Every structure is written in C-alpha cells, then in structure tokens.
C-alpha cells in the first residue's frame, strides 16, 4: 500500500533546489560586490604637510622690514592618505613675488613640491602675517593652506 507516509519521495528534489538557490545567491553577491568595489572614491586633497609649519623672522626694530630667505617643502595626500604626485603649488602672501613649484621640479615625482629661495618679509609695524599656498592637481579640487609668519619669534 503506497500512501502519503512514504517520505523519501518528497525530499528527492530538495538538495537540487537548495543547490540552485546557493549558486544564484553566490552569483548575485559576486556581481553586487564587484560593482560596489569598482566605485571610485572622490578625488580630494585630504591632507597637506608643510615644512616649516611656521616661519619665524628675526627680531628687528619695529620701524624696519623683517625678512628671511628659506626653502618650503609641500606634500599633498589624497583620500587614501597616499602622496599625490604631480601637484603644482603657488605661494603668495608675505612674499615679494608669487612663487610656483611643481612636484617634479626637484627631479623626483614623489608628491613633494620644493619652493627654494623664498624671500619672506613683513613690513614695518606688522608682527604677524601668513604665506598662502594653493595646491592644485588635475582632476582634483584645489586646496588652500596657510603658514603663519611671525616677527621676532
């Protein structure tokens, strides 16, 4: 007598269905993860390191111009905290003229731009000023940075 009590027939198709569901879920997961990891993060200049961080000018009489010549090194970092190669740095502010330097200006493409022989000045009666840096890279929004300048520090 064959009746509904025969439970072996009802389970025969179950492992095949389960295997199909697992394979389809695995493929969908692979497609979704592949799509998610291919999305690029925003192109930003996340962080800037400058050396020196502050420019100290010599202590001179208040009615005289305070000045100093120095080199400034600027390194920019991207959103993944990696040095950003190919930057262009423009320096203005407490300087006699505008300075421009490229990352490759020192012969190495390493994310650091070197501004050499920068003449920093503060006019008579002024004790604090700033150097303004603009860091640019193609495909990235520019970033402005400043370096304080202090007379007699």
Per residue in 27-60, pLDDT (tens digit) is 999 988 888 887 766 788 888 999 999 999 998 8
Say whether pLDDT at 71 is over 80.
yes
Per residue in 87-112, pLDDT (tens digit) is 999 999 888 788 898 887 666 677 88
> In whole angstroms, what is the distance from residue 22 CA to residue 27 CA?
9
Spatial neighbors of 134 by CB under 8 A, at least 6 apart, are 89, 90, 92, 142, 143, 144, 145
Say whether pLDDT at 144 is over 80.
yes
Say whether pLDDT at 73 is over 90.
yes
CB 71 within 8 A of CB 123: no
Instruction: Note the pTM of the prediction, 2 decimals.
Output: 0.69
């Amino acid at each position: 007598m064959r009746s509904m009590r025969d439970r072996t027939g009802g389970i025969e198709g179950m492992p095949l269905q389960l295997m199909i569901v697992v394979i389809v879920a695995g493929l969908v997961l692979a497609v979704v993860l592949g799509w998610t990891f291919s999305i690029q993060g925003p192109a930003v200049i996340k962080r800037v390191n400058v050396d020196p961080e502050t420019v100290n000018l010599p202590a001179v009489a208040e009615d005289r111009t305070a000045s100093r010549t120095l080199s400034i090194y600027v390194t920019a970092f991207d959103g993944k905290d990696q040095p950003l190669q190919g930057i262009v740095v423009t320096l203005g502010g407490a300087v006699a003229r505008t300075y421009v330097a490229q990352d490759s200006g020192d012969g190495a493409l390493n994310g650091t731009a070197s501004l050499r022989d920068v003449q920093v000045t503060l006019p008579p009666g002024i004790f604090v000023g700033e150097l303004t840096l603009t860091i640019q890279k193609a495909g990235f929004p520019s970033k402005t940075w400043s370096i304080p300048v202090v007379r007699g520090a």
